[in-house]
Structure 1
Amino acid sequence: MSEPLPLVFDLGGVLIDWDPRRIYVPALGEAAAAFLLERVCTHTWNLAMDAGRPFDEAIAEKQREWPEHAEAIGWWKTRWTGMLGGPLDGTVALLGRLQAAGHPTYALSNWSAETFPEALARYPFLRTFRDIAISGEAGLVKPDPAFFRLAADRWGIPLAGTVFIDDAPRNVAAAAALGMDALLFTDPGRLQADLARRGFPA
C-alpha cells in the first residue's frame, strides 16, 4: 500500500502570524512605520537575513545608511519576538487532522536561523512536522527553485504532485513551475476546501 500524499507548508502567514507592524506601528505611528517598512527595513533586506546573513551585520549596515532611523532599525533584532503573534488556529487544526490521517507533513520556510529556535520554543505544533527546512540554515530562500529541490531531496519526496501551501504568490508560482500542486493560502476555510477537493480529510 502506498504512503499517503505528502504536504509541504509555509510557516509565516499560514501557520504563524508574523508581522513587523506589531512593533513599529505602536512605537512610530502608521505613517512612519509604513515608511520604515517600505523604504528602510525592506522585504529584500529581511530576505537576506532569512538567507543566512547575520542580524548584527545587516542591521549595522542599514543603520549606517539611515542613521536617523538607527534606533528603530535596531528593534528588528531587539524587539523581534514582538513581531510574532499567535498560531493561526484554523490552519494548525487542519494540519493536525492531516497528520492524524497519516499524511506526511513538512515545512519549507524563509526564516532566519538566528530566530527560528524562538519559534520552536513558542509553537509546540512545529515539532509535529516530519522535518522543517529553514532558509537560514540552507543559505537559500523561496522562490529559488534550488531551495525546493534541496528540501525534497532531503525528505525523499517527489516535487511533482506534492501539495505545497504558501501565502506568497511568487512562492506558489515557483512551486507550480516545479510540478508541485501549489495552493495559495488566504484563510483556513479556503485551504480546507482546496484540500477537500483533492480528497484530503476535511
Structure 2
Amino acid sequence: MPKAVVFDIGRVLIEYDPEGFYDGVIGPERRKALFDAVDLHGLNLRVDAGERLHETFAEAACRHPEFGNEIALWADRWIEMASPEIPHSVRLLMALKAKGVLVLALSNFGAETFEIARAHYPFLDLFDQRYVSAHLKAIKPGPGIYAALEQGSGFAPGELLFTDDKAENIEAARQRGWRVHLFEHPQGWADCLVEHGILNEEEAA
C-alpha cells in the first residue's frame, strides 16, 4: 500500500477555467481574440516558474495595449479563475488527513497566487508538505520537481500515489516509478484510493 498520497491542486481540488472567466467578463468573441493575440497561459507558466505575478502581466499589457485592461484582469482577479473548490476532492483530502495518511501537494503554482489560494481555501494548509513550482523553480512535467518531492519526503517512488489532471504530468511520475492516477473526476480518484486500500468506501464517499 502507498505510504503517502500526492495531490495536484488545479482542476483536482479547485476548478481552474481562465477561458470561462473571460467569457463571462468580456464575452467569447473578445476572449478568443485576446487568447489568440496573447499567450496568457504561457505568461502564467512563467509565474509558476517563479516570476512575479503583477509585473509579468503588466509587462504584457504594455506590449499589447489594445488588450491592456483584459490582460490585467488575470493578475487582479485571478482567484475568480481558480474557483470554486471541488467538494468531493476536498472531502477525500480531509478523509485521508483524518485517517493519518501523509498527504503532499505537488503543483505548478505561482508564489503569489498560491498565497491567494491559501487565504481563500484553508484546506490547502492541511497538507503535510507542499511542493510548489515557484518555490522550487522547477515545473511539472520536468524531473526536478518530482525529485524535490522524493528527496524532501524521503519516500521511494513506489511508496507514492499521485493524482494529476494532465497526462504528461502523470506519465513523468510513472516513469520515475510512482503509482499514478489520471484525475478526470472525483469519483474516479475516490475509487482509486479504495482500490489501493487507503480509504474504505464509506470514507471515500
Q: TM-score normalized by structure 2?
A: 0.89
Per-residue displacement from partner, 1:118-170 (whole Å, max 9, x unpaired)?
Answer: 21111111111101111111111111111111122112222234101001111
State the AA in 2 paired with 1:89. Answer: P
Percent identical residues: 34
Gaps of at least 5 residues in structure 1 are none
Matched residue of 1:132: which SS?
Answer: strand
Post-superposition Cα deviations, 1:56-103, rounded to whole Å, max 9, x if no partner, equal 332233224322111111111112222231211101111122222221
* Structure 2 match to 1:182: 180
Q: Distance in 2 between matches of 1:91 and 1:116?
A: 18
Paired amino acid for 2:47: M
Amino acid in structure 2 at the alignment position of 1:93: R
SS of residue paired to 2:15: strand
Cα distance in 2 for partners of 1:200, 1:179 equals 19
For residues 62 and 121 of structure 2, the distance between their equivalents in structure 1, rounded to whole angstroms, comes to 35
Alpha-carbon contact 2:6-2:106 (below 8 Å) kept? yes
Q: How many angstroms does 1:195 deviate by?
A: 2.0
Give the corresponding residue for 1:172: 170
- 82-91 or 16-25: bigger deviation: 16-25
Deviation at 1:38, TM superposition (A): 5.0
AA aligned to 2:118 is L
Q: Is 1:117 paired with 2:105?
A: no
Matches within 5 A, 1:39-188: 39-188=37-186
Decide whether the 8 Å contact of 1:22 with 1:82 is kept in 2: no
Match of 2:189 among 187, 191, 199: 191
Output the aligned Cα RMSD: 1.8
For 1:5, the equivalent position in structure 2 comes to: 3
In 1, distance between residues paired with 2:65 and 2:9?
A: 33
Local SS of the residue matching 2:158: coil
C-alpha deviations, 1:24-72, integer Å up to 9, x for none?
1122211321342354143222111111111233223322432211111
Separation of aligned partners in 2, 1:184 and 1:127: 23
Residue ranges of structure 2 left out of the alignment (5+ in a row): none
Q: Any conservation in 2 of the 1:4–1:104 contact (CA below 8 Å)? A: no
